[in-house]
Amino acid sequence: MLATFASDSNIIRILDVRQPGTALLELRGHQGNLNSIEWSPHKRGLLASGGDDSLVMTWDLINSENQAILPSINGNGANAGDIPSKGPSSSWRCEYEVGNVSFAPESMLTAQGGDWLGVCAGRGVWGVKL
């Protein structure tokens, strides 16, 4: 699977590299433009995103009970029904627009304390525990 987003877009599209012409899934939840996405190196199917809406969101693509299911919407606002959409499994609001997100590498701290996400925004860096 490949996660991607377009410039000036708030939708993440999940593609199958064997059929890259059609999105398998759209991830909707950000209200501002996306700036960064990253797959978790520790948990299969876990994606993090950050954007201009000052939100950091995580998306669990494996466990469907951990996220909201949203209807697909075409350009007219009507239900398109062709590409499934899902909402985030969790979110965190920053004080500034989020420029970058990155999962912490495996270490003694992350092995004992769970997954951590580094967030770059404004003039600061935050550590967010998932």
**What CATH number does residue 85 fall under?**
2.130.10.10
Give the model's pLDDT for residue 112.
Answer: 63
Give the model's pLDDT for residue 85.
Answer: 78
Nearest alpha carbon to residue 3 among 56, 76, 61: 61
Strand partners, 12: 27
Name the average pLDDT for the chain: 82
Which residue range(s) make up the domain with 78?
2-129
What is the total count of domains within the chain?
1
Nearest alpha carbon to residue 59 among 117, 126, 104: 117
Spans in the chain with pLDDT lower than 70: 64-81, 109-114
State how beta strands 34-39 and 46-51 pair.
antiparallel
Give the model's pLDDT for residue 84.
Answer: 78
